[in-house]
Amino acid sequence: MVKSGKRKFVKKEKAKVHLKVSHKTLLPKGQNVTDTNFKVRKIVLHGQLKERGEHEILSKGNLNIKELLSRLNHHNMWQRQSGLEGLIDLVASYPPQTMAVHLSSFLEAASRLTLDCEADIRKLAVKLLSSILTAVDEEQIAPSFEIVIRYLACAMSHINSAVRETSLNVLDVLITKNPKLTAIHCQTVVLPGFLDLISSKLSDTTSRKLTVQINEHTTTSVWRLKVLNSLRSLLSAIVKNTSLGSENSSDLNRTVNWKDSCRLYVPLYNSISLKAGPLDLNILQKAEKNSSTTEIQNYTASLMPLLIDTFIEVAPSKRENKNNSEISLQTASILKCILDIILLLWKIFQNSDNPSEMMSWFSINYGPKICQTFISTGFPYITLNNGGHTPDKIKKHKTDTDVVLDLFGDSTVQSDIKCSKQNIDLCLIYFLLSKYKILPVPVKIISLYINNSLNSYKSIDHQSFVVLMHCLETVSDNNDLIKPKDSFDLNSVVEKLVNIHNEMVITDGRHRHEKTKLVFNFLCSITSKTHLKIADEVEEFGSWLTLLPEFLCQRKVPYHLAKALSNVSRYNLPQFTKSLNMLKPALLNNVDIVADNKADKINGQTLLKDMMYTQCDWEREIGLVN
């Protein structure tokens, strides 16, 4: 048997280690010799103690452009982030001429990193792109701008929803910094991408259906609002670029000044700089297949059903109040974007090769559907009081209301609770469409809202008031809406505008306020439509024409006032002409034209002199015409 009990562990003394003595003698006796038969390696520290040039461009981290660009291709996120921060620092610190050689590399790197998987990198890339476009002129960016647009198209079709959202931020930067280049390059590349952001193609057809955005922080309706807002900004840039080109081409008038003591040289030809155009051998075939008119028509055919379906999804199902429909702030913002897009498309039609054909096609195909969706079911609209921003301490993520306020500002909630901009835009769209198509909605509904808006004109903001005057100009050109009995009563509107103008003039005699100018210009433009006979039918308007020349008796007359009165004098209206002839001596002695520049001052004085010479209507004088 095994003995029981505790085993005693005796601590032994640790044995000493004995070193072995080599029998080989390293050094011979009596000789002081060292053996040098050993190998060494040189230690190299990359990037340490580099010599920098005296005029070399360096960031705050003492890195040059080449080193910063190389960091942007690094697999580590922090390296890419430091590279972007260094480039942003260089663009802000140095003049753009010093970095002209690397401009295309900067744009390519910033555009490529907008597709990065990290949100911080994408944010810095957008910031770098914005700083480059701010610092560098448009002429220098133009050759490399196509690179940015191609990467933008890739971002809009990216599989990652966060990258697609970043693409909208990139587009906003491009439109803000370089609207002209963006309008030129984005028409064929970027515009189709908006359709893919909110819809998908149906199989074997050209039609589309709305898609649902799957995201933790953004609802589908808010995502569509962001897309429509960016589309509206792009279409606005395209319209401005097109209208700017037409204004430059149509400006053929010139003023020639001379002195009696100098020889007069009059230029006979316009100094137009010629540009080299690309040589396209298949230009005739391409003109037939891919004309701009066909492209915008096909794009509109795909876009309009999506806009209508988008509003149907967020619009209230039932109308609780007979006088108006209450909609949320988010629905009102979506409606605003949709109506702006429709009006911008209409302006594009007006500037196209076949404007009347395009506007007629649009009115026939989409006029009844627009009236049924936006006017018949809910017009006019008002917004619900959803409050302002949610405090940052309470919320974890932005609410739908916060996103709307970020896009359109807090003033949208405070000043446009009655949705005046949306309702007046609907009136304008109705008048534009009714010129080419008989619409299912009676004009009385629109006429009632126009009159109510004029009664409360003081509460309407400037932008909405401009559209309101545009509505009245459109109505005055459409005889089909004025002549029938159950139609738009233009005479009562003109009478109301005369009273409004008389009220405005009490505090604004020189017509400095924008609303006063708009009302005055519209009343003056009505005189050109002599077939309406408003001066004879509306007594208040005839009296207003009689008092009109008295505005020229002021010590100083604004140029726009002289220009408008000159247009009135062309039509030889008896109410205006008699009063003008009586005031001629006072006009010649008193008037000084107030203008922003010397050319307008000279033109204003010329217009005033032309008004002094009236031509009699001899056919009426001798009795040939009643």
pLDDT in tens, 62-88: 788 888 888 888 899 999 998 999 899
Please compute the mean of the pLDDT values over residues 364-375 and round it to a whole number.
93
Cα gap 295→304, rounded to integer Å: 14
Has residue 271 got a pLDDT over 50? yes
- Residues 85-101: b if buried by 16+ CB within 10 A, e if exposed: bbbbbbbeeeeeeebee
Q: What is the pLDDT of residues 510-542, one digit of tens each?
A: 777 888 889 999 999 998 888 888 888 888 998
Amino acid 497: pLDDT: 92
Please say if the pLDDT value at position 238 is more than 70: yes
Residue 29 has pLDDT above 90, yes or no: no
Cβ–Cβ < 8 Å for 103, 141: yes
Please check the confidence at residue 482 and state whether its pLDDT lies above 50.
Answer: yes
DSSP β-bridge partners for residue 326: 382
Count of positions (residues) in the chain:
626
**Mean predicted confidence (pLDDT) in 2-20:** 62
Contact predicate 418/460, CB 8 Å: no
The residue that leads in pLDDT, 134 or 612, is 134
Owner of token pair 């301490």? 393
* Three-state DSSP state, 421: helix
* Residues 554 and 595: beta-carbon distance below 8 Å: no
Task: Compare 198 and 319 and report the one with higher pLDDT.
Answer: 198
Return phi, psi of residue 23, to 5°.
-85, -10
Q: What is the mean pLDDT of the chain?
A: 81
Amino acid at 592: D
User: Which pLDDT does position 387 carry in this prediction?
Assistant: 53
Classify strands 208-210 and 199-201 as parallel, antiparallel or unpaired: antiparallel
Cα(431)–Cα(439) distance, integer angstroms: 10
Q: Which of 2-6, 11-15, 110-114 has the highest mean pLDDT?
A: 110-114
Average pLDDT over residues 336-348: 95
Q: What is the pTM of this model?
A: 0.81
Checking if the pLDDT of 110 tops 50, the result is yes
pLDDT of residue 288: 45
pLDDT tens track for 437-449: 888 888 888 999 9
Question: What is the predicted pLDDT for the residue at 285?
Answer: 45
CB 558 within 8 A of CB 511: yes
Closest CA to 100 of 139, 127, 64: 139
Residue 560 burial (CB count, 10 A): 17
Tell me, what amino acid is at 323? N
Q: Is the pLDDT of residue 286 over 50?
A: no
Between 518 and 553, name the one with better pLDDT: 518
Average pLDDT on 353-369 reads 92
User: Which of the two residues, 562 and 150, has the higher pLDDT score?
Assistant: 150
- Residues 325 and 422: their CA atoms lie apart, in Å, by 13
What is the predicted pLDDT for the residue at 284?
Answer: 47
Q: Is the pLDDT of residue 429 over 90?
A: yes
Tell me the average pLDDT across 256-261.
Answer: 68
**In the predicted structure, residue 200 carries a pLDDT above the cut 50:** yes
Phi, psi of 199 (to 5 degrees): -150, 175
Structure tokens at 109: 């790197």
Distance CA 374, CA 491 (A): 28
More confident residue, 170 or 626: 170
pLDDT of 430 reads 94
Confidence of residue 146 (pLDDT cuts 50, 70, 90): very high
Write out the two tokens for 49: 């103690």
